[in-house]
Amino acid sequence: QVQLVQSGAEVKKPGASVKVSCKASGYTFASYGISWVRQAPGQGLEWMGWISANNGNTHYAQNFQDRVTLTTDTSTSTAYIDLRSLRSDDTAVYYCVRKPMAKVPDYWGQGTLVTVSS
Amino acid sequence: DIQMTQSPSSLSASVGDRVTITCRSSQVISNYLAWYQQKPGKVPQLLIYAASTLQSGVPSRFSGSGSGTDFTLTISSLQPEDVATYYCQKYDNAPLTFGGGTKVEI
């Protein structure tokens, strides 16, 4: 069965960087993309970006273009999100989501809480 | 970028009521519209895709309609387990914007 398993919770100081991983199983990793979505405490869902696991093409939300890098490692079927220059308002649960081309995002990871605090 | 506007932002209804949530896109997105349900502390779950196709395992009291710019999620008979926040999302192409969410209470 399709599974996306994310890395554990992180606590970071303002100005630091964080890298969250998302290990996929149960499907051909390179045949799909991965979207990243975050949710601040008590807030809605915010789409951050998408990467093709096939060729590494990316699309970033305008709000994150200068601070986020999405990568994949097809040898381990793992996607990564790297968020730099962390601020307190980056405190959120970060989700990876499988995204087929031209189809609906379907499977979600369990989420990773990133807390930014001095 | 295309904006997704959901209304209402919250609602309270009784068990058995018919509940309707609206999602409007600022440009035409054909039928590339999904609805998700998120219960408190849980991961969002896909309810409906292609505006009106029920995801496998989702109760038939949920339905979706619309195309172009105006979409609707309907719960035909609200149940206690439907207490959640509901989000629409466009998925035609990037950015895959979400609506602001609708919190449904009983």
Whether the predicted pLDDT of A102 surpasses 90: no
Q: Do B96 and A45 touch (CB under 8 A)?
A: no
Q: Quote the minimal CA–CA distance from B49 to chain A in Å.
A: 6
CA angle B78, B81, B87 (to 5 degrees): 75
- Please report residues of A whose CB lies closer than 8 A to that of B96: 35, 47, 50, 99, 105
**Cα-atom radius of gyration of chain B, to the nearest Å?**
13
CA angle A101, A57, A62 (to 5 degrees): 95
Q: What is the pLDDT of residues A42-83, one digit of tens each?
A: 999 999 999 999 999 999 999 999 999 999 999 999 999 999
pLDDT: which is higher, B2 or A9: A9
Q: Which of B82, B83, B77, B86 is nearest to B23 (CA)?
A: B86
